[in-house]
Every structure is written in structure tokens, then in C-alpha cells.
Chains A and B, each alone.
Chain A
Amino acid sequence: MLIVEDLHVAVGTTQVLKGLNLTVPTGEVHAIMGPNGSGKSTLSYVLAGRPGYTVTAGKVSFDGQDLLVLAPEERARSGLFLGFQYPVEIPGVNNVYLLKAALNAARRQRGLPEVDAFEFLGLVREKMKLMQMPETFLSRGVNEGFSGGEKKRNEILQMLVLEPRLAILDETDSGLDIDALKVVATGVNSLRGADRSFVLVTHYQRLLDHIVPDKVHVLAGGRILRSGDYTLAHELERRGYDWVVSEAA
């Protein structure tokens, strides 16, 4: 589903990704781990098309098409979802209004009819239940006055409603207590399936106890230095990242 080849990315004059290779087959969950400043968030943003990240070399294909030529909203409509590490507040814009607009944008792209308000509300209520979110979420502004945990739950709620082909979750576990982490994991696991892939960007192995990945990659210094199965996460938890870096050097 996602093939990243020799990706070089600069932010301003700083080269952050330096030849990154990554293949995520359809139906798999891959975890990207790595120390601070290794380029994890840059990878998430560049895949989603955030302005300010310049691809200096390499290519990315998503479902067989060249991802890098698409505008951010086109990537989203073709089924790429980014769960933000720091979801932004948009005061006065209703949370559900944004979500409905998002869903209908994706449906139009797929040639499906738009959902009406009634249908949509039914769908959202069902997903909110899964995420253990109170009704009041319906009437609030996008992330307006949300706690850190509420923001993350809201990201997963959006993912559940939008049902993307590929979900990139950027440090969705950071700032969550253990109960919230379980709720988030339940949400993600409920969406796992043969035709959907996930990229989990995280610092800690803790999330991976609840969402067991098919593969774990270590990103450091702008490249994937090591890949392995779920047990690699445990090894990292035990030994830290330094040994991976020094072995690769």
C-alpha cells in the first residue's frame, strides 16, 4: 500500500530525512520508533503533505499512485489519514460539522452520495460510544478547550468515521493515561482489517502492548536503521536506542 523509497526531506536548510526506505503492505500495522529528533514527525507530515517540508530526493507511492504530486486534501480524500500529535483548536467551528464535511469530501471522491445529517449523526454516535466520549462533544468547537486526552480521542473518532485506507498516528499515545490509552487502542483495533494499513509513530513500547504491530522499525538520523517484529519493541524498551545507532554506524 505504501512504498517509500530513498526519501530525502529538508525542513528549511536542515536535512531531516536522509534516504528513508519503508514498505507497508496492505492489512499490516507498522510501528516507527526512534529517539527524539530522529525525523518521525517529519515522516508523518511529509506523507500528509504539510507545507514547509521539501522533498529533495526519493519517491513515495500510495496505492500505486505518486503520493508526492497530490495536494494535502487530495491525499486525505484518497484515504490517507494523519492523527496529529498536537491537534489544533479551531474556535467556533463545530466538531461534528468539520467531521461531516470531511466525510462527504471523501465520499464525493469515491463517487458515493453524501450522507445527510441524520445518517451522519447515527454513525458518529455509534463511534463516540466506542471511544467513550460524552454527547457534549457533538456541540463543541473543534478541539476547543479539549484536554490533551480528549484531543487524542477526537482524532481516533475522526479516523473511525472516515475509515481511511492508511492511518498514520503520530504519537497518539503521548499524554494519555492508561485508561485513555486502552480506549484509543480499542478504537484502532476495531478498524484493523485486511484492506487497511496503519503506521504508528511512537516513543514507547507501551502502546504496542495494546496494538500489536506486524513490524517495528527504528528510525534514527533520518533513516530506518533496523526492522523487526514485535519483539524488537521490547528489546528497545530494555536497551534503549543507542545500540541500534552504534551497530548501524
Chain B
Amino acid sequence: MTETTELQELVGRQYQHGFVTDIESETVPPGLDEDVVRLISRKKGEPDFLLQWRLKALRHWFTLREPHWAHAQYPAIDYQSISYYSAPKVKTDGPKSLEDVDPKLLETYAKLGVPLHERARLAGVAVDAVFDSVSVATTFKERLSAAGVIFCSFSDAVRNHPALIEQYLGSVVPVADNFYAALNSAVFTDGSFVYVPKGVRCPMELSTYFRINAANTGQFERTLIIADADSHVSYLEGCTAPMRDENQLHAAVVELVALDNAFIKYSTVQNWYPGDERGVGGIYNFVTKRGECRGRASHISWTQVETGSAITWKYPSCVLRGEGSIGEFYSVATVNNYQQADTGTKMIHIGKDTRSTIVSKGISAGHGQNSYRGLVKILPSAHGARNFTQCDSLLMGGSCGAHTFPYIEVKNPTATVEHEASTSKISEDQLFYCQQRGIATEDAVNMIVSGFCKSVFKELPMEFAVEAQNLLAVSLEGAVG
């Protein structure tokens, strides 16, 4: 058999997370109008300023048209056929213990290295009935509150810290920013909120996993992270689990604010359901993520590993306003079968001596289409700004595509902007070399792909890096072997 055929077979192997979980939930009828937004706001007991903010977003959204500039093809979405509020029924409706859960599912989690508690939660087990995770979560809460860090669900933050919400919500991604951000602003149901006070180094990595009570955040989540002066926080967002949402559209918004000397590290491993091998089904992942380095010498670093979703449309960006502030973007995006990814970043240099680094690794297999789209914008005020961009694509098989759309706008002559790009294939030479050393094709491919992604993986927190590698292996499983 030639290796091209082997590649095709591996590419063609089935997505191993393609299971369905029946979770009963309370869902409002499809459709979107002001009444639905009022209902969401009322269900969540929100203050009036937030309702007004949502309504403003909705009214603006009605004036917008769905954007189609991304290098992705899909039929128009009927937004009136989507239900915008869905809350899972009480947890006790789920399986009572791990024994009740499909062993195959648990196997998959084990393969991904998901911790045991997490596996149970993902499988919909009523966690606190089985494990002592309530006390685990409490311990974390105590440590965090001793340090003065606020880490809670967005709904809790609205209830308990409305002043912070009112001050910062929409200050990085305004309601009118884009179609999906406006939609999210109108209908978001929950998400995460983090506030790290002045001078505090957050004592642990924050992750959505530890925020067990707010696990089921739905497909329009909203995240807001504020790092006050001289603070430091690392946040992990794991979508390592198969998707069980009934809807296809996932439109989240993440806003980060870094004040003087603050550092925010935001890591994502995204593995929503990508659709089947014929491209049927899967999540449309249309996400707006932006951080603002508002203070001097502030620093925001995005790291993302994107392996899931039928279509990914996201550009985690940095607005470098503070003098000497730093923005970073490290990305691995993988497409297999009929997945399409149009992802990259925007680095907006406003302040003097601002610096940005972009490292993007795109992997395309099967019939996947992978686009890097990045904007580096140096405004007239950004004296001495510097950017370095490296953008590499790896192709597996002959039916996939890799595309690069770099946009560079320099309005200040003292700026330095560098862009490097490469496209390569996993060569038969590399595969054969590994095989000749006794390494099975699939392991060889994983090895080669991991090597290709090394400069991004090393930016991930340790335990996440392992998970990301496993995930990559699973999502390309069948892509070589």
C-alpha cells in the first residue's frame, strides 16, 4: 500500500468522540426577539443595566448581516430556529455513578488524560454524589478568596459584583463589535468571571474545570477576566469533551483586561464535535476573544489548540494600548475530514514600544481547509513597536488545503514587523524513516505533528500540554496509520 493511501485511511478514520448524551433540559421555544432577551434576563434575576445592555445589543444585531468573509462555506443559519435558553434539569436526572456510564465514553476520557472527577462530570454524573469534589472545590475557593481573587460564574458575578461588571463588560468587545459578539451580548446565559486584585499573583491555575457549579454554560458563554495592576493570572479553558449541545452554533465572547504590569495567560484546548467523516453535523464555533493591555508594561498571552468544530472562526486578539505592553498568540489549529478553520489573531499596537509575537501552526488533513488570518496594525502613536509573526502549515494527504491571509498595516515608520511563513507536507521520507526505526505509522505521525507544534505546546501549562498532545493524536487518529 502506498503511504498516500495510508494517509487517506488514517484521515478517514472515525471521530472517536462522536457519542450522544441525552440530557434533559428546560428549553424555551426557538426564536429571538426582545421578549426572549427579557426572559433570559428575568430568569437570571439581572439588574436593569444589564437588561438594557442586552437590548441595545439585540437592537444593533437586528441591523447586522451575517458575515461571510471567512474562508469557509456553510449554508446560512436560521437564527429564528434556534432556542436561546436551555438550562439542564437537576443533576440527579443523570447517571448515578460511573458504573452507569458507557464504558466506551470513559475509555475516551481516559485516553485524553481527563482527570477522574472531570470524566464523571463530563459524562453527566451527579459528581457530588460520587466523589468528594465539593470539598475539593471548596478548598480552591478558600485559597482563592484568601488571596482576594474572585473566580465565579458570570451569573454569580452579576449578583455579587455588579459594579465590576458594569465597569468592564463590553469595554474590550463592545456590543456593536461584530455580528456574533452582538448576538452573544444579547443572549449570553453564563460564563466565567475572574478578578485578580492589585499586586496579587493568583495562587493556582484557574480553569473552568474547578468551577464545577457552572459547568453547563451553554453555547453563548461570556467570559470576563480583569487583572488589576501588578497581578498575574493563568486561565485554562478546556473544551476537551465531546459536545452534547443540541444546537450547532457556539458564539462565545471572552474579554480580558490587563492593567499596569499585569499578566494574563489564557490557554484554550478546543475539541467541540467536528462533524462526521462526510462533514455532516458539528459545531459552528464563532467566537470573539480579545484582550486589552490597558496598563503600561502589561502582558497578555493567548495559547490555543483548536482540534474540534465543523467551522472555527476566531481571532484571539490583543489591543496594546499601554506603553511597553506585550501581546502574544500561540496557536495550533487542526482540521480533518470536512472541518474548516479560519483563525488567527489581531495585534493592534497603539502604545509606544509595544511588542507582539504570533506563532501559528496549522495542520490540515482529509478534506479540511485551514486558514490563518492575522492582522498586525501599528498605529501612528506606536513608536518603536515590534512584531514577529511565524506562520507554518502542515498538510497531510492531497485533498486538504492551507491558506494564509496576513494583513499588515504600519502607520509608524519606527516600527519593525517581521513575517515568516512556510507550508510543508508530512513527507513519506519522514514516515518511512520512523517506520524503519520500528515505529508504527500512527505513532510516527503523532511524533512528527507534535514536533511541528512544539513551539506552541511549550507555551501551555504542563498538564495541558500533555492533554493537547493526546488530543491532537486522537483528532488525527485515522489520519495516518
Which A positions have Cβ atoms within 8 angstroms of B?
Answer: 48-52, 71-73, 75-77, 81-82, 84, 87-88, 90-94, 97-99, 101-102, 105-106, 109, 141-142, 158, 162
Residue B439 lies at the interface, judged by CB distance under 8 Å to chain A: yes
* Residues of chain A contacted by B450 (CB below 8 angstroms): 92-93
5 tightest A-B CB contacts, nearest first: A92-B451, A93-B451, A105-B438, A102-B437, A76-B438
* Residues of chain A contacted by B428 (CB below 8 angstroms): 51-52
Residue B436 lies at the interface, judged by CB distance under 8 Å to chain A: yes
Give the residue name and chain of the A residue nearest to B447 (CB): A93
* Residues of chain A contacted by B452 (CB below 8 angstroms): 91-92
Interface residues in B434-453 (C-beta closer than 8 Å to A): 434-441, 443, 447-448, 450-453
Residue B145 lies at the interface, judged by CB distance under 8 Å to chain A: no
* Residues of chain B contacted by A92 (CB below 8 angstroms): 450-455
| Complex alpha-carbon distance, A48 and B430, angstroms | 14
Give the residue name and chain of the A residue nearest to B443 (CB): A101
Known pairs A51-B3, A92-B452; A98 contacts B436 (CB<8 A):
no
Residue B216 lies at the interface, judged by CB distance under 8 Å to chain A: no
* Residues of chain A contacted by B434 (CB below 8 angstroms): 90, 98
| Complex alpha-carbon distance, A87 and B438, angstroms | 15
Cross-interface CB contact of A90 among B2, B438, B451, B453, cutoff 8 Å:
B451
In the complex, the answer to whether A51 meets B1 with C-beta atoms within 8 Å is: yes
In the complex, the answer to whether B454 meets A90 with C-beta atoms within 8 Å is: no
Which B positions have Cβ atoms within 8 angstroms of A?
Answer: 1-3, 427-430, 432-441, 443, 447-448, 450-455
| Complex alpha-carbon distance, A82 and B434, angstroms | 11
* Residues of chain B contacted by A50 (CB below 8 angstroms): 432, 436
Among A77, A91, A99, A162, find the residue whose CB has the most chain B CB atoms closer than 10 A: A91
* Residues of chain B contacted by A94 (CB below 8 angstroms): 451
| Complex alpha-carbon distance, A109 and B441, angstroms | 16
| Complex alpha-carbon distance, A18 and B201, angstroms | 72
8 residue pairs bridging A and B, Cβ less than 8 Å apart: A72-B436, A73-B435, A81-B436, A84-B436, A90-B430, A92-B455, A98-B447, A105-B438
Give the residue name and chain of the B residue nearest to A81 (CB): B436
What is the minimal beta-carbon distance from A231 to any residue of chain B, in angstroms? Answer: 33
* Residues of chain B contacted by A106 (CB below 8 angstroms): 438
* Residues of chain B contacted by A98 (CB below 8 angstroms): 434, 437, 439, 447
Known pairs A52-B2, A73-B440, A88-B429; A93 contacts B435 (CB<8 A):
no
Cross-interface CB contact of B432 among A51, A91, A158, cutoff 8 Å:
A51
What is the minimal beta-carbon distance from A213 to any residue of chain B, in angstroms? Answer: 23
| Complex alpha-carbon distance, A158 and B436, angstroms | 11
Known pairs A51-B1, A52-B2, A101-B447; A90 contacts B439 (CB<8 A):
no
| Complex alpha-carbon distance, A71 and B447, angstroms | 19
Give the residue name and chain of the B residue nearest to A77 (CB): B438
What is the minimal beta-carbon distance from A167 to any residue of chain B, in angstroms? Answer: 12
Give the residue name and chain of the A residue nearest to B361 (CB): A92
What is the minimal beta-carbon distance from A10 to any residue of chain B, in angstroms? Answer: 14
| Complex alpha-carbon distance, A158 and B437, angstroms | 9
In the complex, the answer to whether B451 meets A141 with C-beta atoms within 8 Å is: yes
Known pairs A88-B427, A92-B454; A109 contacts B438 (CB<8 A):
yes
Among A72, A88, A105, A158, find the residue whose CB has the most chain B CB atoms closer than 10 A: A72
In the complex, the answer to whether A105 meets B439 with C-beta atoms within 8 Å is: yes
* Residues of chain A contacted by B439 (CB below 8 angstroms): 73, 98, 101-102, 105
| Complex alpha-carbon distance, A98 and B450, angstroms | 12
* Residues of chain A contacted by B448 (CB below 8 angstroms): 90, 93
| Complex alpha-carbon distance, A50 and B2, angstroms | 9
Give the residue name and chain of the A residue nearest to B392 (CB): A91
Known pairs A73-B438, A77-B438; A51 contacts B451 (CB<8 A):
no
Known contacts A76-B437, A90-B447, A102-B437; 14 further A-B pairs (Cβ under 8 A): A50-B432, A72-B435, A76-B435, A84-B433, A87-B433, A88-B430, A92-B450, A92-B451, A93-B447, A98-B447, A101-B447, A102-B439, A142-B433, A162-B438
* Residues of chain A contacted by B453 (CB below 8 angstroms): 92
Among B436, B441, B453, find the residue whose CB has the most chain A CB atoms closer than 10 A: B436
Among A75, A92, A98, A158, find the residue whose CB has the most chain B CB atoms closer than 10 A: A92
What is the minimal beta-carbon distance from A132 to any residue of chain B, in angstroms? Answer: 22
* Residues of chain B contacted by A158 (CB below 8 angstroms): 437
* Residues of chain A contacted by B447 (CB below 8 angstroms): 90, 93, 97-98, 101
What is the minimal beta-carbon distance from B114 to any residue of chain A, in angstroms? Answer: 24
In the complex, the answer to whether B1 meets A82 with C-beta atoms within 8 Å is: no
What is the minimal beta-carbon distance from A185 to any residue of chain B, in angstroms? Answer: 22
| Complex alpha-carbon distance, A186 and B144, angstroms | 62
Cross-interface CB contact of B433 among A52, A88, A162, cutoff 8 Å:
A88
| Complex alpha-carbon distance, A105 and B452, angstroms | 23
* Residues of chain A contacted by B429 (CB below 8 angstroms): 88
* Residues of chain A contacted by B451 (CB below 8 angstroms): 90-94, 141-142
